[in-house]
Amino acid sequence: MARAADGFYLRAAPAERRPPPAARAGAIGWLRANLFSSPGNVALTLVCAIFIAWTAAHVLRFFVLDAVWSGADREACLASPANPEPGACWAFVRVWLSYFVYGFYPIGARWRVDLFFLALAFGIAWLAWLAAPRRDIGAFYFFIVLPILSFFLLSGAPLIGLSAVPTSLWGGILVTIVVATVGIVASLPLGIVLAFGRRSDIAVVKFFSVTFIEFVRGVPMITVLFMASVMLPLFVPERFTPDKLLRALIGVALFASAYMAEVVRGGLAAVPRGQYEAAQALGLPYWRMTALVILPQALRVTLPNIVNTFIGLFKDTTLVFVVGIFDFLRTIEAARVDPHWATPVTSVTGYAFAAVFYFLCCYAMSRYARGVETRLARAHRR
């Protein structure tokens, strides 16, 4: 193409279309571009590599190479000529594992807990797998069948031969999972209701919602748990006094829903006014508009924050120990002071085990949310 000297131009033939220039491909290209692009970058890479290698070596030595995998009591995990600097005492976790999972749940009835875990995992998988068949039945199963089934499985139904197990005997991962699941499942709808309450035109509804949200957010979780545990019995007749675990569940659900309400409110505020107007102009009544047009968009933009709240809630379940409930972390606390296993590494091992459990659960939630986000975003990209 010739450039005209006078600044005017007339294209004679279309400019040819070409593929983009090939990027520097391969692992080496990537390393060059990302890790070794400049002297400063090279130095930073080296420092980080040394630090990672040093940490990883220690972790590997302590938790794997020098770790004690089996044994009957503390002797196995103490320093010995064969293992002068013993690592993590996994033997301790193995021996106590059933306590970590079931608490004091009667040994003969523990198959019921296993069945509950299975039923829950099945329900979660059904709902979480977006392409699963009949997800409506899945939702029905998860939100209606599963709670009823779990209730009778776990607390017992003497009529059909399942012995009653008082919640004071529940413990460990069982309690953590129950509290977290109930909290997560209850907090989202409650939070949505509160968020709409806060935006409501009806003064009483608005006042109540704002008061609730601000009050619950303004006090520590432990306070809410204490209040649910101590004050709730004051408001209801003695014979209706809810079970201790139930009180904690209510506390956790209320606490989480206040946070959820603020998260959802942020999402609702992000939906443009034109969306409301278009829905109204089509004649959709308020609740239809909300359910079909506004909420789906609001929840989509807040998905990362919702999962963030879920993760926070999952970890906050450890606080139920303050009202005397034996959640997973509390069972580890109780076990690590067992004189039969008193060694310098017992506590570290117990906490490491807890850390791995919480990390796996939270990371799974986080990854899943990322997946859903990308999936939803794909539909909306140009």
Q: Which residues bind another protein (CB under 8 A)?
A: 272, 274-275, 277-285, 288, 292-293, 296-297, 300, 379-382
Pick 214 or 277: Cβ nearer another protein = 277
Q: How far is the CB of 201 from another protein (least distance, A)?
A: 12
Smallest distance, another protein to C-beta of residue 365, A:
23
Alpha carbon distance 24, 201 (integer Å): 59
> Phi and psi at residue 342, in whole multiples of 5°?
-70, 100
Handedness of CA 211, 216, 217, 219 (dihedral sign): positive
Q: How far is the CB of 296 from another protein (least distance, A)?
A: 5
Between 190 and 279, CB nearer to another protein: 279
CB of 381 to another protein, least distance (A): 7
| CB nearer to another protein: pick between 215 and 286 | 286
Q: How far apart are the first and last CA of the chain?
A: 33
**Which C-beta is closer to another protein: that of 74 or that of 300?**
300
Q: Is 66 helix (H, G, I), strand (E, B) or coil?
A: coil
Q: How far is the CB of 378 from another protein (least distance, A)?
A: 10
Instruction: Name the minimum Å distance from CB 9 to another protein.
Output: 22
List all residues 6 or more positions away from 61 whose beta carbon is below 8 Å from its beta carbon: 87
User: Cβ 380 to another protein, closest distance in Å?
Assistant: 5
DSSP, residue by residue, 145-182: IHHHHHHHHHH-BGGGTBPP--GGGB-HHHHHHHHHHH
Q: Is 284 left (phi over 0), alpha (psi -120 to 50) or beta?
A: beta
Q: How far apart are CA 175 and CA 177, in angstroms?
A: 5
Using the minimum distance from each CB to another protein, give the nearer residue, 75 or 277.
Answer: 277
- Distance, CA of 101 to CA of 354 (rounded, Å): 11
Helical H runs in 72-219?
Answer: 90-102, 110-128, 135-140, 146-155, 172-199, 203-218
**By C-beta, is 114 or 277 nearer to another protein?**
277
Question: In the 8-state DSSP scheme, what is residue 11?
Answer: -
Query: Nearer Cβ to another protein, position 55 or 280?
Result: 280
